[in-house]
Structure 1
Amino acid sequence: MPLVTTAALIEDARANGRGIAAFNVITLEHAEAIVQGAQHSGLPVILQISENAVEFHHGLLAPIAAATLAIAQSADVAVAVHLDHVEDENLLRQTADAGLSSVMFDASHLDYADNVAATRAAAQWAHAAGLYLEAELGKVGGKDGAHAPGVRTDPDEARAYVEATGVDALAVAVGSSHAMTERSAALDLDLIARLRAALPVPLVLHGSSGVPDDTLAAAVRAGMVKINIGTILNVAFTGAVRCALAGDASLVDPRKYLRPARDEIAQVVARMAHVVGGPDA
């Protein structure tokens, strides 16, 4: 199936009252597993490469982007490829040349006025390059995985932010937290509904790995569209590698432990794609 744009997948999900799962790619095996899982589910997905993943690959976007795009193009379901959580403006401007259709520009670490100015400039550049731009207002919980109960996105501020920046999608803080390995986050579903009513653009949930399945499905019903999923894939991957190595002390062929790790990710992807985007979501 031809590669599709992130915009097309998000708008289709939004029009049909469903979510679209966006899974983080770190290695080639991640990309292969995500497509394998998507094909098993029969549902579209977004593959996303974060700035941290680019740094892991020696700061080079082009190689991991090319590999991810090639895997996406081999899929028999609709797949888009997205650049995620970009703070570096030089990396932002590599998005189009790398063949990606969308980028998330993250200026949430700045104060409100500076966030607006930086994000407006990023959106203007992205639109001139034919790209879809996601941004963030209100920090999602920190990378240490701690809940951030006091951090929430205000609907009125969010509406003003979208109007001032011209972004295409907005990541909002509603109770999730990055890098959680336990699925115990509680989301403010009422706030999600109010944000959906206040904003003309799709809502994005970051830190979704820490959210239980039933809550994720409820969040989609309340108005979330793009659901970012990363840590839960790494938990599955690492668990499978540990199990394989513990079971055979003589094991040295990486294919012997990367294959089960890839299969574990694929199973998680198939399930999570259904949770947020299946007919019963």
Structure 2
Amino acid sequence: MPLTTTGELITGAAAHSAVAAFNVITLEHVEAVVAGAESAAAPVVLQVSENAVRFHDGDLIPLARAASAAAERAAVPVALHLDHIQSDDLLRRAVDAGFGSVMYDASRLPYLDNLAATHAAVEWAHGQGLWIEAELGQVGGKNGAAPLDAHAPGARTDPDEARAFVADSGVDALAVAIGSSHAMTTRTAALDHALLERLAGALDVPLVLHGSSGVPDDELRTAVAGGIAKVNIGTALNIALTGAIRDFLTDRPEVVDPRKYLTAGRAAMAETVARLIGVLRTEAVLPPG
């Protein structure tokens, strides 16, 4: 079906559910995400990060074209999102590459610099019809960096600061730091649901959870019930892919045809996608406030 946009998917999401957004690196990732979403009969967002573009020697177009083609052939609505973009040049390639939304990431900068950079990105993006997400606070764990301590300055998103940031920057959605971390390979993150409640009450834009691969199912359900509208997942797919390939080759060390072990890896990722979409569509009870 025709490409949709991240904003449209979030607007159309049912109560007590969040839009699942999966980061893709290879064609097998793309195919697995679409297959998993079709199995779950749910819309999905295909996300390409700046790190993934760097892996492809800085060329955005091949993976973007593959994602677009897969999305247009999908039996469920699919949106394309450019994720964690720090490069203004890459931001300006988003429209021609077929993306309908961008996460512009200046969260590494001091607050006023983050605000100025994000505001400039929003002005340009909105002029091109792009939906734009930003981050305030630091989720941590990107590019091999250790996650911030829970009490470190800037580690968590402050609701009052977030309200001002959203109003002054004009962003369409905000990724909030409430205890998750990127690139976690264990599902041990504990979210600050009381902070999420304050953020949801302070903001009138959709809230996004990054680093969700390290968040247990019950924590995800509660976060969605508490106001998270979009959930980003990446490492969980890589764990599924690598584990399936490792097991396949351990059992069949003579195999050299990549189609055989990539088939196993793709199937494992699709199963992970379908399962996590189910988690995000499950109604949960809000924690006592």
Classify the secondary structure of the residue corresponding to 2:187: coil
Letter in 2 for 1:161: F
Partner of 2:214: 210
Partner of 1:227: 231
Partner of 2:7: 7
Superposition misfits of 4+ residues, deviation over 4 angstroms: 278-281
Classify the secondary structure of the residue corresponding to 1:176: coil
Match among 251, 255, 258 for residue 247 of structure 1: 251
Partner of 2:149: 148
Classify the secondary structure of the residue corresponding to 1:80: strand
Identical pairs, percent: 59
Aligned partners of 1:180, 1:154: CA distance in 2, in Å?
A: 23
Deviation at 1:11, TM superposition (A): 1.4
Aligned partners of 2:149, 2:237: CA distance in 1, in Å?
A: 22
Question: How does the TM-score come out when normalised to structure 2?
Answer: 0.94
Aligned partners of 1:38, 1:62: CA distance in 2, in Å?
A: 23
Deviation at 1:278, TM superposition (A): 4.6
What does residue range 47-66 of structure 1 map to in structure 2 within 5 Å?
47-66=46-65
Q: Is the CA contact (8 Å cut-off) linking 2:100 and 2:131 kept in structure 1?
A: yes
Question: How does the TM-score come out when normalised to structure 1?
Answer: 0.97
Q: Is the CA contact (8 Å cut-off) linking 2:21 and 2:230 kept in structure 1?
A: yes
Deviates more, 1:140-149 or 1:19-28: 140-149
Classify the secondary structure of the residue corresponding to 1:258: helix
Aligned partners of 2:198, 2:284: CA distance in 1, in Å?
A: 23
Q: Is the CA contact (8 Å cut-off) linking 2:33 and 2:46 kept in structure 1?
A: yes
Deviation at 1:159, TM superposition (A): 0.2
Partner of 1:269: 273
- How many residues are treated as equivalent by the alignment? 280
Structure 1's unaligned 5+ residue stretches are none
Structure 2's unaligned 5+ residue stretches are none
> Pairwise CA RMSD of aligned residues?
1.3
Q: Is the CA contact (8 Å cut-off) linking 1:147 and 1:176 kept in structure 2?
A: no
Partner of 2:119: 120
Partner of 1:85: 84
Deviation at 1:229, TM superposition (A): 0.3
Partner of 1:181: 185
Aligned partners of 2:284, 2:27: CA distance in 1, in Å?
A: 31
Deviation at 1:147, TM superposition (A): 5.8
Partner of 2:204: 200
